Structure 1
Amino acid sequence: MTTLLHIDASARPGLSGTHAHGSHSRRLSQHFVSTWRAARPDDEVIYRDIGATPPSHVTGEWIASGYTPAAEREPWMHAVLVESDTLIAEIRRADVLVIGVPMYNFGMPAPLKSWIDNVVRIGATFDFDRSRENPYVPLLAERHRRTVLLSSCGSSGYGPGGFQAGMDLLTPGVATPLALLGLTEMHSVAIEHAEDHGDLLDRSIAAALARVEALVGELQAAA
C-alpha cells in the first residue's frame, strides 16, 4: 500500500471551477488525489489543511527545545515540540507528498513556510556533521519518497527557461529544504494566468489537469 500525504496551503477554502473565488492549487491537489484513488482505492491518504489551520511559527522556545538533545529535554520542551513531532511523523509515513500551494508575491504562503520550519529539525529529520565536505546529513532518506508540487500563479513564464523563471521563489523554496531531509525527487505542475482569466486561464487549467492525470499514472507505475 502507498501512503499519500496531501497538504493544502491556500487561504482560499473552495475549488476553482466549483466555488466562487475557489483555489486553483486545491483543485489540482484534489484532482491528483482523486485520480490516484480511482486506480488505487485502498491506498492511504493523510490530509492536512494548513491553509485553514496553519502550523505554529517557530519561537525561541521551539529553537531551545529542538537543539536540546532529546534525553536532556525538560517536560515543557517536549510539549513545545509536539506539533513538530506530529508533522514529521506524517512525512515518515508517506511515500508521496502532494502539496497544493499558490504563489503569493513570488514565494510560498506563510503557513507552508511554518510547516517547513516545523519539519526541518536537527536530530529529527537532518543532522550536521562538520567532518564531511557537505555537513548536512538527511535522516529521511531511508526509503524513497516523492514530492508533487501543485501550484498556481497569477502570471506566467515561471517555469524553466521562462521569462520570469528567476522570480519563482516558490519551487526552490520547497525543493531545497525537502532535499535537505532526503526528499530529492520533485515533480511540479502549475496553473498559470490566474489573473488573466478567459481563454489563457482555461487552457492552462486544462493542460495542468491533464498533466496531473499523466503524472499519477507515471508515479503509480514507478511505485
Structure 2
Amino acid sequence: MKILHIDSSILGDHSTTRQLTAAITARLRAAAPATQVVYRDLAAEPLPQFTAAPGAEDAAALATALEQVLAADVIVIGAPLYNFSIPTQLKSWLDALAVPGKTFAYGANGPEGLLGAKRVIVASARGGIYTPGTPMASLDHQENYLKSFFGFVGVTQFDIVRAEGLKVSEEVKTQAMAAAFGQIAALQAA
C-alpha cells in the first residue's frame, strides 16, 4: 500500500489536523507494515497558485503533486477549517489535481471521475460545531467541498475523522479529540 500524507495547517506543532493525520498514517502503517508513505507539507512548501500558463518550474511542481496522487492508494489529508473553508494551500493542491484525462474526463453523459480506486481520509478540525442540524451547518464549506471535489474525481472511499468544537470549551475539546482518536483506532487498512 502507498499512502500520500498531506498536511495543510499553518499552525505547525500546535495543529490538531497534523496530530490526527500522523495518527491515521501510523494506524494504517501498523495494520500494513509494508506500507510506503510520501509526506507533503503544503504550508511549509505551498504549490504555486493556479494560472492559465504556469512557468516551467511551477508546471513541474504541479505535475509532481499530480503524480504523487496518481501513485497513491490512500490519501490522508489534514484539512482544518479556516474562515468556513479550507486553507488556501490545500485549495492550490486540489487545483493541481483537477486535470482532464488524468483525474476526470468529460463524456457524453457528463464528467466521469477517474480516481475510483483511491481511498481518501480527511482529518478535519474545527473550532466551532458545523455538523448537519446545527446552527452553523450552512457555513461548512470545508468537509462538503472536499467530499464534492473527491466525488467529482471518482473517489468513493471517502472518510472523515473529525475533531469539532475545539474552541467551545476544554471539556468539548477533550471529548472531540477522544472521539477522533476513537475513529482512528477503528480504521481498517484496506
What TM-score do the two structures reach when normalised by structure 2?
A: 0.92
Shift of 1:174: 1.2
Deviations 1:79-106 (A, max 9, x none): 6532222111111111111111110011
Return the match for 1:149 from 122, 125, 142.
122
2:114 is matched with: 139
Kindly indicate whether the alpha-carbon contact (under 8 Å) linking 2:105 and 2:111 is maintained by their aligned counterparts in 1: yes
Kindly indicate whether the alpha-carbon contact (under 8 Å) linking 1:61 and 1:80 is maintained by their aligned counterparts in 2: no
Superposition RMSD on alpha carbons, in Å?
A: 1.7
Percent of aligned positions with the same letter in both sequences?
31
Kindly indicate whether the alpha-carbon contact (under 8 Å) linking 2:48 and 2:58 is maintained by their aligned counterparts in 1: no
1:180 and 2:123 are equivalent in the alignment: no
1:8 is matched with: 7
Q: Structure 1 CA distance, aligned partners of 2:57 and 2:7?
A: 25
Q: Structure 1 stretch 101-110 or stretch 51-60: which is displaced more?
A: 51-60
1:199 is matched with: 171
Q: Structure 2 CA distance, aligned partners of 1:123 and 1:23?
A: 35
Q: Structure 1 stretch 36-45 or stretch 147-156: which is displaced more?
A: 36-45
Runs of 4+ in 1 over 4 A off after TM superposition: none
Structure with higher strand content? 2
> Any stretches of 5+ residues in structure 2 without a counterpart?
none
Count matched residues.
Answer: 190
> Any stretches of 5+ residues in structure 1 without a counterpart?
15-21, 63-75
1:47 is matched with: 39
Q: Secondary structure at the match of 2:64?
A: helix
Q: Secondary structure at the match of 2:84?
A: coil
Query: Which entry has the higher C-alpha Rg, 1 or 2?
Result: 1
2:122 aligned partner, one-letter code: L
What TM-score do the two structures reach when normalised by structure 1?
A: 0.79
Q: Structure 1 CA distance, aligned partners of 2:148 and 2:157?
A: 11
Q: Structure 1 CA distance, aligned partners of 2:44 and 2:122?
A: 19
1:120-131 equivalences in 2 (<5 Å): 120-129=98-107, 131=108
Q: Structure 1 stretch 99-108 or stretch 192-201: which is displaced more?
A: 192-201
Kindly indicate whether the alpha-carbon contact (under 8 Å) linking 1:190 and 1:208 is maintained by their aligned counterparts in 2: yes
2:28 aligned partner, one-letter code: W
Shift of 1:209: 0.8
Q: Structure 2 CA distance, aligned partners of 1:205 and 1:146?
A: 23
Shift of 1:46: 1.1
